[in-house]
Structure formats: structure tokens, C-alpha cells
Amino acid sequence: MAKAIRISSFGGPEVLEYVDVEVGQPGPGEIRLSQRAVGLNYIDVYQRTGLYKLPLPAVIGLEGAGIVTAVGEGVTHLSEGDRVAYAAAAPGAYAEERVMPAAQVVALPPELSFEQGAAMMLQGLTVQYLFRSTASLAPGDTVLFHAAAGGVGLIACQWARAMGLRLIATAGTDEKCALAKAHGAAEAINYATSDFTAAVKELTDGRGVPVVMDSVGASTWEGSLNCLSPRGLMITFGNASGPVPPFSVSELAARGSLYVTRPTLFTYIAEPGSAQDRAADLFDMVLSGKVKIDIARIRPLAEAADAHRDLEARRTTGTTVFTL
């Protein structure tokens, strides 16, 4: 048995139960993992509320780090005793121990702590695929990035600086805007007190930006489209303020032949070896010092409900990690 955060119904933070669960042994293609740290991400909220449906009861969470304690048949890239980290499509991270598919688990470099591993995998790999694959970016390009003081956003600010991009950040307070600039954003807009669309147009001499990366969703959708230059790319990769409402695709033509995509990390790491390749790029960025993983708070897993309340109320910056 192991302690875990489980939900038996969808709802608010109060549905998060700290309980004992059975772990079992790994089957073919699986490993058993003794976890040392688990990452908190907004997708965990979507799982808890039922926006992303899970069979119930369910242990939520998609990111963690720990030590492999058993290896199932057919797993060749990991061995018992390995230090590992993961961002994986299979939920179940909020637990002291778990059995999970091995394909998206990667060896953690010895220079990185378990806390860093749990803080960087989902958020860092998200930035990696957005910047390396979803958008075709070159030095000097301009990107508008919403919620830039969160865990993904602070990594994005640093990654953009390393690539020579001009990242225009948005955040909900002046303090968060200052934090984004300190991490590499060229400019920052407080979208709680300013019209971010007008500000972006002013910063780009009326042209708009070729790429918007938006994890906020409903509340920024319309304004983000209005920020794009002709043939610009709208990347909507999250729903922190609610899902994007239905819209007519003819709007894309009327606004200048725009492109829209709704990517997810797990498509980009689904092919064999892709998680390891993308993680190697992420680890290189961190170990070189170009990207620093900002762990804003470390909490015991039993405090998951309070951590969810803080995350939804936008009282957090950087990354929160649970320890076990």
C-alpha cells in the first residue's frame, strides 16, 4: 500500500482525498517507481474538475521523479535503481509509489535533484515542443506569451532569450510582469490593468505578432487573435480561464488568413524515443545555465487541496512541487 491523492468524484479541491492505495507490480512495458517529488500543473485541475474526464476513482497528476524499484518485461532503457523523471499521459503521479508505462520515463541526470526533475518535465517539455516544433521560430522573431510568470511561462521567457527571440509577456500583476522580465521577457503587459491587444499593437508599430502562445483560454482568446499579424499562428495550449468558445473558421480568413492549433505535449512525445530526445534538449538547456528551474514552493503531498486553491486563485508564481 502507498499514500496517494485520489478523487472519487469531480469537483473542487475538497474532492482530493489523501488515502492508501494498492500499487501492484509492473507488467510488460511498465515500471514500478518510488517517487520522491511530484509536480503541480494546471492540467491536474482539469482532471480534478472533470474538464478532462478520467475513470473514477482516480489518482491524478502527470509529472514526477523518483527511483525505479521494479522493471517489467520488455523495458530496456531503464533498470532497477535508476533515478528517473517523467511527464506522461497516464495519470497517477500524486502517489508515493506507482506502476506506469515506461515509454515516457527518462533517466534523470545526476546533477539534477528529484525536485528539479518533478518541476521541469511537463512544463519544460511543453516549452520545448512549442518553441522547437509547433512554431517555426528564428532569432529576432516576436512571440506573445500569456501567463508568463507561471511555471511554463518563466521557462519560456528564458528559452526565448536563449534563442534570441523577442518575447512579449503578459501577467496579472505588476510584480508578475517584473518577474517575467527578470527571466528574459523583452516587454511585459499587465493584462489586469491594460488592454493587452492595444499594448501589443503599440509595441509592434501596429503590425501585431506572428505567433501567440496562450494557455489562458477563454478570457484571452479574442484579444489574442486581434494581436496576430496576417498569416500569424495562434497556439492555444491551455484553458486556465475556461475552454475557448466555438467560433467560425471564416473568422480566420477575415483576420488575415490566420492559423490556429490546439497542441498537447503527449502528441509530441508519443513516438518511441521522442520523450528521451526532447528531454535531452531540455536537460541541456538547464545544465548549460540557459534555463533555471524556478521552484517557488515545496509542499507535502497531503497539502494538495490547498495547493490547488492557490493555483486556481492565481496566487502562485513559478512551480510548486510536492514531496513524499
Split at pLDDT 50, 70, 90, the class of 69 is: very high
C-alpha closest to that of 214 among 200, 230, 193: 200
Q: Is the pLDDT of residue 248 over 90?
A: yes
Q: Which class does domain 139-262 fall in? A: alpha beta
80 contacts 70 by C-beta, under 8 angstroms: yes
| Three cell numbers, residue 314 | 492565481
The domain limits of the chain are 2-121+266-323, 139-262
pLDDT at 318: 81
C-alpha closest to that of 215 among 191, 196, 234, 195: 234
pLDDT at 36: 98
C-alpha closest to that of 211 among 229, 187, 197: 229
Average pLDDT over residues 219-238: 96
Task: Say which DSSP state 191 is in.
Answer: T
| Three cell numbers, residue 303 | 497539502
Give the tens place of pLDDT for each residue, 84-97. 999 999 999 999 99
pLDDT at 181: 98
pLDDT at 169: 98
> CA-to-CA distance for 174 and 294, rounded, in angstroms?
19
Average pLDDT over residues 6-14: 98
pLDDT at 289: 97
| Three cell numbers, residue 112 | 539534477
| Phi, psi of 36, deg, nearest 5 | -110, -30
> CA-to-CA distance for 297 and 304, rounded, in angstroms?
12
C-alpha closest to that of 204 among 178, 184, 226: 226
The letter for the amino acid at 174 is D
CATH number of 2-121+266-323: 3.90.180.10
> CA-to-CA distance for 297 and 227, rounded, in angstroms?
34
Average predicted confidence (pLDDT) for the chain: 96
19 contacts 3 by C-beta, under 8 angstroms: yes
pLDDT at 19: 97
- Cis omega (within 30 of 0) on the bond before 210? no
Q: Is the pLDDT of residue 281 over 90?
A: yes
Give the tens place of pLDDT for each residue, 173-199. 999 999 999 999 999 999 999 999 999
Give the tens place of pLDDT for each residue, 12-60. 999 999 999 999 999 999 999 999 999 999 999 999 999 999 999 999 9
Residue 43's Cβ-count burial label (10 Å; 0-12, 13-18, 19+) is: buried
pLDDT at 316: 86
307 contacts 284 by C-beta, under 8 angstroms: no
Task: Say which DSSP state 66 is in.
Answer: E
Q: Where are the alpha helices (DSSP H) in 95-234?
A: 114-129, 151-163, 174-182, 196-203, 218-227
Split at pLDDT 50, 70, 90, the class of 240 is: confident
Residues above pLDDT 90, as percent of the chain: 95
Residue 322's Cβ-count burial label (10 Å; 0-12, 13-18, 19+) is: buried
148 contacts 212 by C-beta, under 8 angstroms: no
Average pLDDT over residues 234-256: 93
> CA-to-CA distance for 30 and 33, rounded, in angstroms?
10
Integer Rg of the chain from CA = 20
Question: Computed from CA positions of residues 263, 266, 270, 274, in that sequence, does the dihedral angle turn out positive or negative?
Answer: positive
Beta-carbon neighbour count of residue 191 at 10 Å?
A: 22
pLDDT at 314: 86
256 contacts 230 by C-beta, under 8 angstroms: yes
Q: Is the pLDDT of residue 294 over 90?
A: no
pLDDT at 86: 98
pLDDT at 301: 97
Q: What predicted TM-score, i.e. pTM, was given to this entire model?
A: 0.93
Task: Give residue for cell 501567463.
Answer: 147
Split at pLDDT 50, 70, 90, the class of 239 is: confident
Q: Is the pLDDT of residue 154 over 90?
A: yes
> CA-to-CA distance for 307 and 39, rounded, in angstroms?
11
